[in-house]
Homo-oligomer: A and B are copies of this chain.
Amino acid sequence: MKIAVMGYGTVGSGVVEVIETHRDVIAKRIGGESLELQYILDLRDFPDDPHSDKFTKDFNDILNDPEIKVVAEAMGGVNPAFDFTMKLLKAGKAVVTSNKELVAQKGLELLKAAEEGNTNYLFEASVGGGIPIIRPMAQCLAGNNIEGVAGILNGTTNFILTKMIEEDMSFETALKLAQDNGYAEKDPTADVEGHDACRKVCILASLAFGKHVYPNQVATEGISNISLEDVSYISSVNGVIKLLGQIKYIDENRIAAFVSPAVVYNGSQLASVRDVFNAILVRGDAVGDVCFYGRGAGKLPTASAVVADMVDCAKHVDRRKIFGWGEGEEDYVVDYKSTIEMPFYVRAKMSENQVKTIFHNVKFLSRKGQPSDEVAFITDCMTENKLMKKLENAEVLNIIKVTNY
């Protein structure tokens, strides 16, 4: 089966590599046929690349070639990936992607175009890199009402937090190390401020509950405010800080979805996820907690998930997958700050007595070198709005949500 790859960056070149190095296993999975690379679309020149005869700068070469049945989109970003993908799908060509930004923004439109073209739009690689999560969410958990999802969805921030937790490294030093190792971009904003995790939350929420959730509906907070002091207090109660994407089912018409640092207690499957690894925990009413763990990014892990989607398209060329992903609604994602109750970790310049007066029942934490005018504590369950009201006259240093995963 003839295929094309759009975008020859990290993931795109990885896709080409996996197709070439895995001919046997791919042919076995498809039932004898192989994936034959016909085009690589990229505006840049790669004169020394062994595939130089495959390169094109003209998208129409792919669109107008009737032999091309499956296309991997690894361009990233919304434009021109959106335009290209729409045209391919409407022309009946299957498209697979690792482009979480595009799926989060335009997933519904693209799935509709796939329906129109009687073909498939698959995006296993868009969340959790090589970890199988899209199919399990869409298919395997169909006998459950999903109650919640919590995921460590960004490898870069998890690497930074791991260094802070295990090696007492400052945020800045850990970020620099992540950049030196190639885990973080020169401009690390998308990772560090939670935007990348936010896109993945949108995709997971849309799949789990069948209505499109858009990035601007998801309250998003990054890890740049996390200090070693917070890490130290929380480790004293056998907890760690993770950047979590969380989704909570409220009722048929409402969910909560947010990205933020969160306290996870040791013993949770999420607590032992270290370095650049990702994990996604899904809580179903029948199955209980299931958790999916692996490398959430990286050239070959991500590429292997893209290729698996291509294999699936090649195996099922005129059979469509139905995701049940419908229109979103403005009020569908609630303001979690006024609705979801949870415990909070608070660090503040206060006395224990002041804290007791305001909160009655809290658990105080301690750390080495704790200044006499600093307290840290974990509250009972309450909404974030209620917490902020209680703390309105206090000099707060940090607040972190505490999860029940």
A300–B324 CB distance below 8 A = no
Q: Interface stretch among A47-55, A233-241, A309-317, A331-339?
A: A309-317
**Chain B residues closer than 8 Å to A204, beta-carbon distance:** none
Q: Interface stretch among A26-34, A101-109, A379-387?
A: A26-34
Q: Name the contact of A311 in the complex, choosing from B124, B142, B274 (C-beta under 8 A).
A: B142
Count, chain A residues at interface, CB 8 A = 54
Indicate if A394 sits at the interface (CB-CB under 8 A). no
Indicate if A161 sits at the interface (CB-CB under 8 A). no
B289–A304 CB distance below 8 A = no
Indicate if A269 sits at the interface (CB-CB under 8 A). yes
B287–A324 CB distance below 8 A = no
Count copies of this chain in the complex: 2
A-B contact pairs, 15 of them (CB 8 A): A25-B144, A28-B324, A29-B142, A31-B324, A130-B288, A131-B287, A132-B135, A132-B140, A139-B312, A141-B308, A267-B272, A287-B295, A287-B304, A288-B301, A319-B319
Give Cα distance in the complex from A387 to B269, angstroms.
35
Q: Would you give the shortest CB distance from A317 to chain B, in whole angstroms?
A: 11
B294–A294 CB distance below 8 A = no
Q: Name the contact of A287 in the complex, choosing from B267, B286, B288, B305 (C-beta under 8 A).
A: B305
B139–A136 CB distance below 8 A = no
Q: Which of A31, A298, A300 has the most CB of B within 10 A?
A: A300
A25–B142 CB distance below 8 A = yes
Indicate if A322 sits at the interface (CB-CB under 8 A). yes
A140–B284 CB distance below 8 A = no
